[in-house]
Each structure stands twice: as structure tokens, then as C-alpha cells.
Amino acid sequence: MMRTTNHEPRTTELILALDVDSFSKAKYFVDLLYPKVKIFKVGLQLFIARGKKIIRYIREKGGKVFLDLKFYDIPNTVANASKEVVRMGGIEMFTLHTQGGLEMMRRVKEAAREEALRLGIKAPLIIGVTLLTSEAQSSKITPLVISLTRAARTAGLDGVVASVKETRCLRQVFGGDLIIVTPGIRFAGGEKGDQKRIATPEEARKAGSNYIVIGRPILEAQGPLITARKIIRKIS
Ligand code: C5P
């Protein structure tokens, strides 16, 4: 077994990106993969298509929802949208762009906390997107991801989305408390699609990711359940 340093999370968990265009397709994957997969990411496409219905379905089944709408707007607008996320209920975590700035992130944190308190429910985790994994690797990426993560921590966010390429460094700088979510996960020799800063599931675990987000490599696999099992074995 791999040695675990203080900075590495005990486990890395798989999040399935439900990037499909209908309730029935999303339901098919939830039924097939739950409870092997426990967290399902609802992103822009599915949220616009059948958002609230699929969120309810995942919750009724016992799964957790990662709402990935990547908010990026003026502080007031994003804070109000975050209140609606809390009101929707049953959202485990949601995303906003750290490039929206410190004030925007602070206002979101405050609004989500106040709304959860008012309703007497648990506030969702707030995760800041740093730089998209579809951006190519360059020497400027890691310093920029570190500075965006520092702003996210200052604003009180729970974690960040970054690529595996920056994860080891983020762990060293920010320690074990920071939640690190890593998309851009591919198998060695697999299709990259539009992703550029990619890594394998094992590399993500070794670097210290708490969660890996995978869409197409599972959704387009011949056997999505077998593929998900294989991934979970590699990160457990
Ligand atoms: O299909 P694939 O595995 O590339 O899907 C990755 C998922 O992670 C997509 O839903 C995408 O929106 C999301 N994501 C990403 N890069 C980020 C944040 C989220 O690829 N920085």
C-alpha cells in the first residue's frame, strides 16, 4: 500500500460528471452506478435541460449532488444565485470562478452561510474553480493557481478545482484541509478530448486529490460500471 503523508487525503473519491442532455440518460447512469459512485456532478448542460428533476432523483436515491454551474458575475448577482442554491436543498457542493475576485467569493460565502442558518440546514461546500483543465500547461499556470487558491481561502471557500499538475504543490502550500477537486482525468493512452492538463486516476490520488471528476471516459465506455469499478480500485 502507498505510504500516506500528512498532506494526502486518506481516500480519493470518484465524482461522475453527468454530462448528458436528458433526464432519462442521467437516470440511466445514476441507476447503473449508484451506490458504487456516490457523488454526481450536474453541470450546465443537464441543469439547463432537466436540472431540478435530476437533482431530486439523485437525492431520493441517496446520492450526493455536486452542482457545477461555475458562477462568474458581479458579487450581488452571484451571492443571490448562491442563496437559491442553498434553498434548492440537498446540494453537497457548488462551484464559482475564483477569477470573479475576492469580494465576489466573500459575498457568496456569507450569503450561503446566512441562508443555510435561516433555513436550519447544512450549508453546501463552496468550491472555487481556478484555471480550467482545458487550458494548456505553461510555466504561468501553477503560480496563478496558487494565487487564486490563496484568494479562495481568504474568502473562506472550502476548496478549489484544479488540475492534478498543480495538486501536489497546492497540498504543500495549503495543507490537508483544502478540498482539491481534479477534472481532466484520463487513462494512459485514452482519448483526451478538449482536456489539456490531464492525469491518470492513480496520479490524482498520489498527488493528493480529494475528488476526481470523470465524465466521458465513463459515459462513453463500453461498460460504464466496469470502468467506474476499475477507477475506484485505483484510487482507493
Ligand atoms: O468528460 P470529462 O471527463 O472531460 O469531464 C470533465 C468534467 O469536469 C466536465 O463536466 C467539465 O465541465 C468539468 N470541469 C473541468 N475543468 C474544470 C472544472 C470542471 O473539466 N476546471
Per-residue pLDDT of 66-122, as tens digits, reads: 999 999 999 999 999 999 999 999 999 999 999 999 999 999 999 999 999 999 999
- Asked if pLDDT for residue 3 goes beyond 80, the answer is no
Percentage, residues of the chain above pLDDT 70: 96
pTM (two decimals): 0.94
Using most ligand atoms within 8 A of CB, pick from 18, 19, 67, 192 the residue to mutate for ligand 1: 19
Q: Whose CA is closest to atom 20 on ligand 1?
A: 183
Give 183 Cα–ligand 1 centroid separation in angstroms: 5
User: Residue 197: CB partners within 8 Å, gap ≥ 6?
Assistant: 133, 135, 136, 137, 141, 163, 164, 165, 184
Give the DSSP letter of residue 185: B
pLDDT in tens, 19-60: 999 999 999 999 999 999 999 999 999 999 989 999 999 999
3-state helix, strand, coil in the chain (%, to 5): 45, 20, 35
Give 163 Cα–ligand 1 centroid separation in angstroms: 10
In this structure, the chain runs to a length of 236
Q: Catalytic annotation on 64? A: no
Give 212 Cα–ligand 1 centroid separation in angstroms: 10
Atom of ligand 1 nearest to the CA of 161: 21
Atom of ligand 1 nearest to the CA of 17: 10
Task: For residue 89, count CB atoms less than 10 angstroms from its CB and return exposed for 0-12, middle for 13-18, buried for 19 or more.
Answer: middle
Q: How confident is the model at residue 190 (pLDDT cuts 50, 70, 90)?
A: confident
pLDDT in tens, 108-155: 999 999 999 999 999 999 999 999 888 888 889 999 999 999 999 999
pLDDT at 8: 53
Give 52 Cα–ligand 1 centroid separation in angstroms: 20
- Asked if pLDDT for residue 195 goes beyond 50, the answer is yes
Q: Could you tell me how far CA 108 lies from the centroid of its own chain?
A: 17
Q: CB count, 10 Å around CB of 27?
A: 18
Per-residue pLDDT averaged across 177-191, rounded?
92
Q: How confident is the model at residue 1 (pLDDT cuts 50, 70, 90)?
A: very low
- Asked if pLDDT for residue 173 goes beyond 50, the answer is yes
Q: Do residues 189 and 179 touch, judged by C-beta distance below 8 A?
A: no
pLDDT at 2: 35
User: Residue 192: CB partners within 8 Å, gap ≥ 6?
Assistant: 186, 198
CATH top class, domain 13-235: alpha beta
Give 172 Cα–ligand 1 centroid separation in angstroms: 24
- Asked if pLDDT for residue 233 goes beyond 60, the answer is yes
Closest by alpha carbon to 63, among 54, 71, 75? Answer: 54
pLDDT at 9: 56
Q: How confident is the model at residue 166 (pLDDT cuts 50, 70, 90)?
A: very high
Backbone angles phi, psi at 69, to 5 degrees: -105, -5
Ligand 1 pocket, Cβ-based, cut-off 6 angstroms: 17, 19, 43, 68, 129, 132-133, 161, 183-184, 193, 195, 213-217
Q: Whose CA is closest to atom 15 on ligand 1?
A: 183
Catalytic residue among 25, 61, 70, 206: 70
pLDDT at 24: 97
Angle CA 198–139–133, to nearest 5: 25
What distance separates the 2 farthest-apart alpha carbons in the chain?
Answer: 50
